[in-house]
Amino acid sequence: MVLRSVGVLSCGKVSGLLYALLGLLAGAVVALISLFGAALVPESERSSGMFGALFGVGAIIFLPIVYGVIGFFSGVIGGALYNLIARFAGGIELDLG
């Protein structure tokens, strides 16, 4: 069995979802680091510490969206390039049995 073409939007959706999950993980790491950093700020400078905490919490929302959009477009481009290259190379040979 030879995989000669892939659904471009299907590649985009799967890739976008995978990247969004990676973005959620990255956002959680940034949030933990930011909250830890905000806890270390002296009491006299608490307003700047709150900015770091809000930045970290915002990363949980912002990074999955950005990663997901980038993943979607790279999946679409990758799928389209695969379809183009598979015409000349013959595709990927699969053994499903």
pLDDT in tens, 26-61: 999 988 888 777 777 676 666 655 676 677 778 889
Q: Quick one: which of 5, 1, 25 has its CA closest to 88? A: 5
Tally of domains in the chain: 1
- pLDDT (0 to 100) of residue 45: 63
Show the tokens assigned to 97: 């049995």
% helix, strand, coil for the chain, step of 5: 80, 5, 15
Name the pLDDT band for 97 (thresholds 50, 70, 90).
Answer: confident
The H or E element containing residue 90 is none
Could you tell me the residue range of the domain that residue 87 belongs to? 2-93
- pLDDT (0 to 100) of residue 64: 95
Average pLDDT over residues 12-35: 93
Average pLDDT over residues 82-94: 93
pTM of the model: 0.80
